[in-house]
Amino acid sequence: MITLNEHFLQLQKNYLFADIAQKVAAYKEAHPEADLIRLGIGDVTRPLAPAVIKALHEAVDEMASADTFRGYGPEHGYEFLRQAIVAGDFAPRGVQLDADEIFINDGAKSDTGNFGDILGTDCTICVTDPIYPVYIDSNVMGGRAGEFANGAWSRVTYCPCTEQNDFIPALPAQPADMIYLCYPNNPTGTTLCREELEKWVAYALEHGSLLLYDAAYEAYISRPDVPHSIYEIEGAKRCAVEFHSFSKTAGFTGLRCGYTVVPKQLTVRAKSGEEVQLNQLWNRRQCTKFNGTAYIVQRAAAAIYTPEGRTQVKETIDYYMTNASLMREKLTQMGLKVYGGIDAPYIWFKAPDDMGSWDYFEHLLHDFHIVSTPGVGFGPAGEGYIRLTAFGTRENTLAALERLK
Ligand SMILES: *Cc1c(COP(=O)(O)O)cnc(C)c1O
């Protein structure tokens, strides 16, 4: 008889954004005249860069001719894109990688969620709290999270990031095998400096842990002393994989492309005693379960690394970061203590008067017609906080700030 992967039944209610969408839809139905401004979900609003559009058109034309048509591509991505990534994202920062340490994918959500496929189901998990929900939920599905009680999973170590520690997580108090770090951080918009990242790399090397480093917002870093890649830290190639995405970098949320770095130096000891390269194992996994992301989309991604592409992508990032600094400025003037928005397109602040996250979310929705994201949706330490995104249009961002004044 067919049975279920019962771990899926352990998942806690809805996915955060589904909850929000439901509440917003219900409000909209009751108040069809309300002009809602959506600063909730982290989706971009600016169109793709002209260089990306040009590359897409050219690639489509290639598909129209028998001479240049492409069918299945390499599972781990085309060489032209992997080379462009190595040369564009890593070499300038003094990080030497081989193209076969880069795995092109259809976005970072897939690989942050799938990477556990090649790791032991007995591994313990560590996350900073609040955090992108995919890290925990994918491990619940994989049977690693333990039992859920009092708002937390028994086999997950939570490292709180709050005003009290200036959003700098302490190292885990219990041994942790798989450690998820996301910097610049979604949802708090904060970063870690080099010395802090060095502590995590040292911890991972000492305890034999794996860092799963999500650098989806790396392109938004503005301060010169904030590392863009965990591999800028000595020793990280022996203890870290890194996830990148073109979604936030270049507006690819609808196109779907990103990449995962799995250094060849990174090995894990099998029960037999053999040192196994994660690079080989991940390659094997991808070749079996993934057939590559679309050729035309990989051509579009490669266009980001051309001089025009770079300039255009930078302009869009500057547009969002101008939103972020306007939000920081105006919300601070209103007396709120505001975090993030300097190296990441998220603004994070504490709801006034000790209001809970969901109460404040409802207040913003009902009284100002602004859709936000309740901080507690990202984990217990997010309670009492609110996230706003800087991915809105300038017009909507200014209109929202005007309403809040
Ligand atoms: C948006 C986001 C991603 C990227 O997701 P894609 O699947 O590439 O669109 C990854 N990690 C975090 C933390 C994000 O916020």
The answer, yes or no, to whether any atom of ligand 1 lies below 6 A from the CB of 258, is: yes
Instruction: Give SS3 for 340.
Output: strand
CA–CA dist 246, 244 (Å, integer): 7
Residues 39, 400: contact at Cβ < 8 Å? yes
The answer, yes or no, to whether any atom of ligand 1 lies below 6 A from the CB of 17, is: no
Tell how far the Cα of 2 is from the centroid of ligand 1, in angstroms: 34
The answer, yes or no, to whether any atom of ligand 1 lies below 6 A from the CB of 182, is: yes
Tell how far the Cα of 250 is from the centroid of ligand 1, in angstroms: 12
**Amino acid 141: pLDDT:** 97
The answer, yes or no, to whether any atom of ligand 1 lies below 6 A from the CB of 133, is: no
Confidence of residue 12 (pLDDT cuts 50, 70, 90): confident
CA–CA dist 119, 25 (Å, integer): 39
Residue of 110, 111, 132 with the most ligand 1 atoms within 8 Å of its CB, for mutation = 132
Question: Residue for token digits 């949320």?
Answer: 253
Query: Does the pLDDT value for residue 175 go beyond 70?
Result: yes
The answer, yes or no, to whether any atom of ligand 1 lies below 6 A from the CB of 109, is: yes
Query: Does the pLDDT value for residue 4 go beyond 90?
Result: yes
Q: What is the mean pLDDT of residues 323-347?
A: 97
Tokens read off for 241: 């994989």
CA–CA dist 294, 106 (Å, integer): 8
Confidence of residue 2 (pLDDT cuts 50, 70, 90): very high
**Sheet of 210-214, strands arranged across:** 102-105, 258-261, 240-245, 210-214, 178-182, 125-129, 156-160
The answer, yes or no, to whether any atom of ligand 1 lies below 6 A from the CB of 245, is: yes
Tell how far the Cα of 260 is from the centroid of ligand 1, in angstroms: 12
Question: Residue for token digits 């690819």?
Answer: 252
Query: Does the pLDDT value for residue 344 go beyond 80?
Result: yes
**pLDDT (tens digit per residue) in 261-300:** 999 999 999 999 999 999 999 999 999 999 999 999 999 9
Query: Does the pLDDT value for residue 15 go beyond 80?
Result: no
**Amino acid 390: pLDDT:** 98
Tell how far the Cα of 31 is from the centroid of ligand 1, in angstroms: 32
**Amino acid 14: pLDDT:** 63
| Residue 346: Cβ within 10 Å count | 27
Tell how far the Cα of 111 is from the centroid of ligand 1, in angstroms: 10
The answer, yes or no, to whether any atom of ligand 1 lies below 6 A from the CB of 340, is: no
CA–CA dist 292, 314 (Å, integer): 27
Atom of ligand 1 nearest to the CA of 214: 11
Question: Residue for token digits 């802090």?
Answer: 196
Q: What is the mean pLDDT of residues 305-326?
A: 98
Sketch out the chain's domains with CATH numbers: 6-47+308-404 (3.90.1150.10), 57-306 (3.40.640.10)
Name which of 17-31, 108-122, 387-401 the model is least confident about.
Answer: 17-31
Tell how far the Cα of 383 is from the centroid of ligand 1, in angstroms: 22
Tell how far the Cα of 131 is from the centroid of ligand 1, in angstroms: 12
Question: What average pLDDT is seen over the chain?
Answer: 96
Tell how far the Cα of 106 is from the centroid of ligand 1, in angstroms: 11
Query: Does the pLDDT value for residue 25 go beyond 80?
Result: yes
Atom of ligand 1 nearest to the CA of 248: 1
